[in-house]
Structure 1
Amino acid sequence: MRYKIMEKFKDCKIGTKIIIYYFIISVISITLSTFIYQNINKRIMTKKVSEMAVQTLQTIDSNLKLLIYTVNNESKILLSNLHFQNILKNGDERFNYNSQTAVNRYLTEFIQSNMSISSVYVFDNYGNRYFVDKKVYKSFSLNDIKNTYWYDELQKAQGGYIIKFNGGGLFNQADQKFVSFIRIINDLESQKPTGIMVINIPEDAISNSFKNITGNNDVDIMLKDENDNDIIHSKELTEYSISEDIKKNLKKNLKNEGKGDHYYFTERVNGNNYIISYLKTNLNWTIISKVPFSEISKQSNIYMLVILGMLLLSGIMSFLGLILVSSSITKPIDKLIKSMRAVENGEFKKVSVGTGNDEIAKLKNVYNTMICKIENLIEQIMLEQKIKRKAELNVLQAQIKPHFLYNSFDAISCLALEGKNDDVYKIIKALGNFYRTSLSNGREVISVREELQTVKSYLTILQIRYENLFVINMDIDDRCDEYKILKLVLQPIVENSIYHGIKPSRRMGNIFISTYLKNDYVELIVGDDGVGISEDKLNSIRKLNTAGIGLRGTMERLNIFYNGKSKLEVESKLGFGTKVTIRIPIK
């Protein structure tokens, strides 16, 4: 029964298949919609509340930075006072009632201009102390500062400031909390330390920096320093309101995430859900917030979320339905695609897919017919191209061989007229070796070793003909010897080097022949130290716009045989010689 139903379904139209699939999926989607909506709603609300917490923490961080920035700028104004600088610099001589009064007056004006500062303590290098404190006097000396754990950190700041809670242990008052702004005072001229300044920012100033942020929201804030000391907290949030497991998780993420990173987690307190968030500031402080989920926000957005959720769900289910439908179409088509890709590798195979009598089956039949015709057509084209390429190579090679033969007979005739029969014999024998190697039983490709032997035979002829004209310098990489290359690619280039490079210079020259095995190609180099080539003529050669048969024919033959994958580069400088580099791919 099942087999019959599946067979009938295969014979259905694609439109019918889509309707069946979509009906099944619609039933499933209605069943799952309620469950999905609840999860989506919870996820969205968690994200919204966490975003609000992040914005709150970032705003508090910005306000704290602004507070420190203001104190820093105000302190710079105070330190730039020349009279103040002179008193500190000459404290061993000028510390008296008048100097102390003058400095205290400056400090008083400084505090009055900045309401966020409660006290300022200044010590010169001689231990003399100047201070103004709005609250309770704090008893500590220059030696107490030098004995603190943070004194080395202060010196490394080199005139910059450091921030410590309650002076980093200088003073601990149970009823008061301060954030201490501490910096070394440098002389304006010599930039040498002349004293130390401690500015205390009270708890009230810090609270006021984010009072407006949390005043209208049910948000609790805690601020901790780098040593986990509780600087300030608002409302009911204390370190004990967070469970030990969550605190460990927070510290773990604080260590791994790094400065400036935000981390949050959810916690249920007294039946209400809260998001506990933290932010690590540039001051190495930690800002912690406890933000409740808003019931009003839930109610106002619930209907919109339902509508959006259902639309999204319907879209997803429809998409899944289309995927299922398309899979019944694409599976047979995938086989067609694999067959098409195999065609790129020269494999022409008919496709056999299990289909009924639908549109896919018709497509398969048309494709198989097309494959047969294409296979026959490509075979015909390849045969024609092979015959054409063979003819082109033969024409170019036929142009090169007579060109060399004419020059060889010219040399033989000259030697015969001069009566040098031994040299005539050597030339004829070398010429025979040359043609024996170059003909190579009709082969188009020969080994690098055979090509070099052809060149050596040619050079033997020219050395006899032109006595004391050139010296041969060969640097042969034996690894290249058995690699196959197109024959007669070096001889025309060597011929050009002698006739157009060495001979016009009217002096003895050098011919350089080298072979190298690179990563994926064999490199053949022919060079000379002759007259060189002008820039204009060099550009013409590179564009194959030259009347010379030898070099132009070699470039065309290489391009045809290797389908443009080989490279021939000509480098020359007038008066210094020419170098021709041929790179032939190994595969």
Structure 2
Amino acid sequence: MKFGRSLRFKFIVGFSIVMIPIMVFVYYNNLYAIQVVREQVSLINSNHLSQNMEQNERVLQATSRYLYRLGDTDPDIIALYFIPYGSGDYTITKQRILNKFTTDTSFYNLIDSFFLYNIREDDITIGNPDHYNDKITTIKEMMPTAIMKDGRVQNANWKIVKAGSNYGLVKITQINQDLYAGAWINMNSLNNQEKFVEMGEKGGSLMISSDGTPLSDTSLSSDQIKLVSRYLNGLDKPYQIIKDPVDKQNYLLVGRKSAVSDVISIVLLPEERILLNLSFFQMAIRWTPVVALCFLGLSLVFLRETLFKPLGTLIRGMRTATRGDLDFQLVSNYSVEFDFVIKTFNQMISQIQHLKIDIYEEKLRTGEAEYKQLQMQINPHFYLNTLNIIYSLAGLKKYDLVQKMAEHLADYFRFSIRTDRDFIHLYQEMEHIEHYLEIQKLRFPNKLLFKLSIAESFDVIQLPPLTVQPFVENAVIHGFKNRGEHFVIEVHVVSDVHNPDRFINIIIIDNGDGFPATLLEQLHSGQYIVDDWKQHIGIWNVENRLRMKFGGEANLSFMNRPDGGAVVIIRIPIELAESGGGLLYA
């Protein structure tokens, strides 16, 4: 009983129902006559194609030789190079060349026009006035890409171009340093439709490129052209039988590719016209699409009930799970195999739901621990420097400065050792920076100046502790090298220029040496984390803590001032900062 419901049994029965009638029909249908007719018609049209293509190529080759000889045999073209542009002699010589091109066009019956291009003066002389503006525009657009830096023509073959709504073949040769001669052939001149047989109303010939672009006028529809373009790789065969999905008719396709250009000449013949005198085969071919559609309909109904419905149920369940909704169960009443798959899927979804909850809770705990560790890594940076300052002042018996230093130092360490805070107010961070800079002023008397500015409306904005101070400390350590001049540090809190309602910018500016070019490039690309992260642990800590608290909303920018010094910009979202963040992972 289970085997009767199995997918294997249903596939066997369905395959038999669909394929046995087709196999019986094919077995009793004599295809020999159709094959003979196809071969004869394809041979005739293939010969016509080959003759037409060979004739066209002979003209193209003769035209190429003509262009190559112009620079050596035509005195007017030789003289034009030496005559000043715009002079009377230049105009007269150009007119003689134009007359020669017009006369020579009659000897090359496929040539639409010859032209001469002066690259130095961007001047074009073209023989045939038909579609003059389109040709001028096309030639001027293609010349910069067709000519290499040394003046040679990049591609010596015939090139397909488009002028307005018409396509053509263009050949360009270099005459001298400034002059280039060329020939233009209209694609419709290469397509000789009268020679082909059995085309009928639905058939036709066409010149087409290797990428499927129609190049000449044709009686074929756009759907037929698209159909032909999918079979261009098989033109090495004597013929191809293709089926149009629009009218359900079979067509015989014959084609030949040009040896001197990227042009393919094809002929599409309706098979119903080829088999016009074979009534039995014609009737069979006429009814084949109807029978095929019936078989297709039965197959689709069969597959929908046995395969598509259960697969659709599974796909809907997977899409629901992809959106993050795991609180569901699929109902199955299909074959044995799909029942097993859907039940297994339901069990997996339940397990994933529980596992996701466990992982999320563990991730929260791990992230909080990582954040605390990052915050604590910053604290030891300043200890040794402050002890050295106190020692030096005590040795000089400047006890008033020692007291002042101790007061600032106490406030500084009181702020630094409080690692239990995820967020502080911006004014508290600025006060901490002020204590740090006052300590540095005592260390470098009359050498260090600083300015801190913050609007009152930004005082209560919250950010992680020690977000700004590491950059001020880096400025003092790395930027304060020229002790003969005052070292100035400024910290400004302003609204973001581009989005003042959503972001604030904390700008740290100094007049020191600025960032080295290599370091600045690493800071922009983030490569400093890979190459030398230990020397930039402060930057790395700030960047990671901002990412953990604000996600991708906060970022750091680094640059150098034009007149010397470094600039660091910390952008913080106002809404998240005012609410104390809330994004542990992003």
Normalising by the smaller structure, the TM-score range is 0.3 to 0.5
TM-score by length of 2: 0.47
TM (norm. structure 1) is 0.47
Rg larger in 1 or in 2? Answer: 1
